[in-house]
Structure 1
Amino acid sequence: MADPCPHFHAIEDVSPSADGCEECLKTGSWWVHLRLCRICGHVGCCDQSPNRHATKHFHATAHPIIEGYDPPEGWGWCYVDEVDFDLRDRMTPHPRPIPRFV
């Protein structure tokens, strides 16, 4: 099967940077769902969250690939090529329970 985008080969097995959205935990904000950067492990909140930290991380770093992380969703997304793909066989495990804020 062909790679879904040119950035697919950049996916790394990463360790999550935090037990929730890294920036929201620092500021006391809340999130809807979490996204995990599959390049460096940054945990940020989704675009339905007030602060959209996962997308802000992409704009700051140009790391193109995220994983739907909370709940574990088994999909990935490339910001650059705007394509989604299956990550069920490479999902990142949660090291501890994820706190809920919604």
Structure 2
Amino acid sequence: MSEIEGIDPHATPSGTGCADCDAVGGWWFHLRRCAQCGHIGCCDSSPAQHATAHWRSTGHPLVQSFEPGEEWYWDYPAGTLYESGPALAPPTGHPADQPAPGPADRVPQDWPELLHR
């Protein structure tokens, strides 16, 4: 397999949830995994939008969905969605019993009203 700039197939995920939300007691809607370093961040619909913040601070260009069963990649600089790409080190999604939004004990009742659209 040839190397793709911005993807390290050996980088393992930083955890099972958004590392930045976990650090401050926040919550997320969906999760994204940096394809270069494995950092798990929350999606742009989430209140804090940590996956995009990670790209802006590091320049790591690609994320893959960290939702179970999803394989798509997003290329931030190009603004392009790829339906699939190289396999990354497992796990490829958060635990199936982890709810979205999550984590369950930190999601406010009015969460749909708090999403970015």
TM-score above 0.5: yes
Other-structure match for 2:62: 65
1:43-64 deviation per Cα after TM superposition (whole angstroms, max 9, x unaligned): 0000000000000000000100
Root mean square deviation of aligned Cα: 2.2
TM-score by length of 1: 0.81
Distance in 2, matches of 1:33 and 1:78, equals: 17
| Identity over aligned pairs, percent | 39
In 2, Cα distance between equivalents of 1:65 and 1:79 = 6
Tell me which protein shows more strand as a share of its residues.
Answer: 1
Moved over 4 A (4+): none
- The answer for unaligned runs of 5 or more in structure 1 is 1-7
C-alpha separation in 2, matches of 1:57 and 1:91: 18
Q: Which residue of 1 aligns with 2:4?
A: 9
Aligned residues, how many?
95
2:113 alignment counterpart: none
8 A Cα contact 1:69 1:92, kept in partner? no
